[in-house]
Amino acid sequence: GNSVTQMEGPVTLSEEAFLTINCTYTATGYPSLFWYVQYPGEGLQLLLKATKADDKGSNKGFEATYRKETTSFHLEKGSVQVSDSAVYFCALSDPESGGSYIPTFGRGTSLIVHP
């Protein structure tokens, strides 16, 4: 079946540091890949997505590149801010999942950014 594996957190950084959160996946077919972000006390919201190999999704200074050869979709940001403190979820939707596109989520990675 499909699965998403994320690095365990929390990830603790100082403001303006470089961020990488690793995500690898297993899928039957050719999935679409997503990063969602959850700020404290809120629901998840889409941060970025990519639908085919070598696509780069980007939003709010965050980027992730769909790497089919390494089945990865790592999240990066060049300079984090305190306001980026949140939980980040990697996810995929796979058309080969019995015709269902229901997303599979990773366990989430907590990011804490200190001033």
Partner 1 sequence: DAGITQSPRHKVTETGTPVTLRCHQTENHRYMYWYRQDPGHGLRLIHYSYGVKDTDKGEVSDGYSVSRSKTEDFLLTLESATSSQTSVYFCAISDTGTGANVLTFGAGSRLTVL
Task: Name every residue whose Cβ is closer than 8 Å to that of residue 36 and which is 6 or more positions away in sequence.
Answer: 44, 45, 46, 47, 88, 89, 91, 105
Which of 35, 103, 111, 113 touches partner 1 (CB under 8 A)?
103
2 forms part of the interface with partner 1 (CB under 8 A): no
Site for partner 1 in 33-92 (CB under 8 A): 34, 36, 41-46, 49, 51, 89
102 forms part of the interface with partner 1 (CB under 8 A): yes
Contact 90, 6 (CB under 8 A): yes
Our CB check for partner 1 shows the closer of 15 and 60 to be: 60
Q: How far is the CB of 4 from partner 1 (least distance, A)?
A: 9
Give residue for tokens 């999942």. Answer: 97
Give residue for tokens 């941060």. Answer: 47
Residues contacting partner 1: total by CB under 8 A = 21
Query: Whole-angstrom Cα distance, residue 52 to residue 8?
Result: 26
19 has which bridge partners?
A: 77
Q: Which residues bind partner 1 (CB under 8 A)?
A: 32, 34, 36, 41-46, 49, 51, 89, 93, 95, 101-103, 105-108
